[in-house]
Structure 1
Amino acid sequence: MKNSFAKTLRKAKQNKTVYLMLLPGFLFLAVFALYPIIWILRTMFYQYTSFGAFNFSGLQNFKTLFHDEMFFNALKNTFVYAFFKLIITLPLSFMLAYFVNMKLRGRMAYRTVFFMPTIISVSVMSMVFYLIFNPYNGSVNQMLMAVGLIKEPINWFGSKFSMVTVIIIAVWGALGNYMIYFLSGLQTIPTDIYESAELDGATGWKRLWHITLPMMAPITQMVIMLALIQAFKDYENIMVLTGGGPNNRTEVLYLYIYRLMFPMGDSYGNVVLNYGYGATVAFATAVIVGIVTMLYLRWSRKMDETF
């Protein structure tokens, strides 16, 4: 026992420099990751009163969750938003990556242009698109009316088109980011394989289908997982563009959590704090995202075994 302790102490002294270098990272993780998780898990069982006190409420927040129509509406909208964003963004991102990976003149300029939306603030980007889709003098309505497709302006953010509009804007903002991931994967494919295929008479489509796509499978699986998680976490552009409206058509889970944890007040100007229930919704959302991610990882593992 003493020998084992002495050996452990000797190893700790030998690795003292390593531990000191890792210490800032551990402190950062504890303060900004572990503590918020513990706070959320604790707060789920409390109600926050107007006097600034937490009152223990047991499982009341969970009972409220199962009868909350707003939560289930936000859940439905989140799945719709995530699904359409993924099936549009990922193929387009791959096509852009395949295009800019070709030996074209000025391809660095194309990469910069396509990547530009990624480095623009979400709030700034949303405000620009708000002006573009403005129902009164926005360029989209003016262009559609000029070519005769519509007779009167469309309220893109205040009608049945609101979810379609925010998805289009989200796709534009995400294309460059996933394009870079796909581009990094394309550049790892050895050129010798393409040269051998060309000697065998393989055309461009055959090379794409039988060489590029199979060899891009690992990076594609990673990109899909990252895009899936990000799609469920999106809310900033929706908050700026529609605020979850009209009639909660674009209310998503993370925006709903934001409303509960950082309330803007009701119609009478009263601020209603609901930290306990907000923590419960946040926990439920994390569980849902975790389940969806695990199902995807399981499916992708089965696809690897099949092919």
Structure 2
Amino acid sequence: MDTTIPVLGVVAVIALAMGFNYTNGFHDAANAIATSVSTRALTPRVALAMAAVANLFGAFFGTKVAQTIGSGIIEQPQGVNGLWLVAAALVGAIGWNLLTWWFGLPSSSSHALIGGLAGAALVAGVTVKWSVIWEKVVIPMIVSPVVGLVGGYLVMIAIFWLFRRANPGRVTRGFRLAQTASAAAMAFGHGLQDAGKTAGVVLLALNISGLHTSNTVPIWVLLLSAVVISLGTYAGGWRIMRTLGRRIIHLTPPQGFAAETTAASILYVAGLAFGAPISTTHTITASIMGVGATKRLSAVRWGVAGNIVGAWILTFPGAGLVAVVTWYVTAIFR
């Protein structure tokens, strides 16, 4: 076989991975900045620029997440068919991202990618590591929103108690400033998690081709993933931003700070300590719900929340199905 074929195939897959990375950036930009924009702590463009820079730096801390995606989800496939498998998985993830973005639903790019990998692997005859998916995907998928919901509620209660005698106007102004830091922390966590996932797919493609032979993520892969997700973030995901920032609950600056701080903390623990590729979308959405519930349960628009949860449930099989269809459609080229 002509040795240029796998090299060209790797280049094509990396380009496709960066396409997914870009959609991830504008799809999930809302995760980091929707609360800051909705409370008017930051203007949209300033918030997006800040989030893009924080994403860039966060990506360099996502090596554990990258290794989980690169070697922990499926057994390493071989040859050109292996590259087609990865390509089909990426098409599944991109397709789901675009569909949910169109409807303004904050679904998980992470679970779309993992669902795409699992779906493509099943039809390609490659072993799926279900035990790892259960341990590092399914359990965190359930636990992180619960922790976000409870954590957001408790952090907001603590803020109420600490500032119970303070001047309300002064508190609001102070938390508007504090939201700059909490939104940056959230964006850093998004870069750590989501740019790391794309780096993991590139790592998988490099190992399949033999151009790389270890689980160590090359620095150029992290840099490329960081830059592209930052560009996608700066492009903005306005449809989803409206859903997170306004349609679930009308947030105040203290509430926005509480939600962002809670979500960022969960992202750091999951990514840095366990290498678990959790959903930034699930985490921040649940944190917003928890914060909103401190006002009164009826303050949260649970109907909107229900639509979001429906999108969460459908993400894994939906992206997997698109990947399966892509695998069969591209059979004529293999």
- Shared fold (TM-score, shorter chain, > 0.5): no
TM-score, structure 2 as length reference? 0.29
TM-score, structure 1 as length reference? 0.31
Q: More helix per residue: 1 or 2?
A: 2
Larger Cα-atom Rg: 1
Q: RCO greater where, 1 or 2, for CA within 8 Å and sep 6 or more?
A: 2
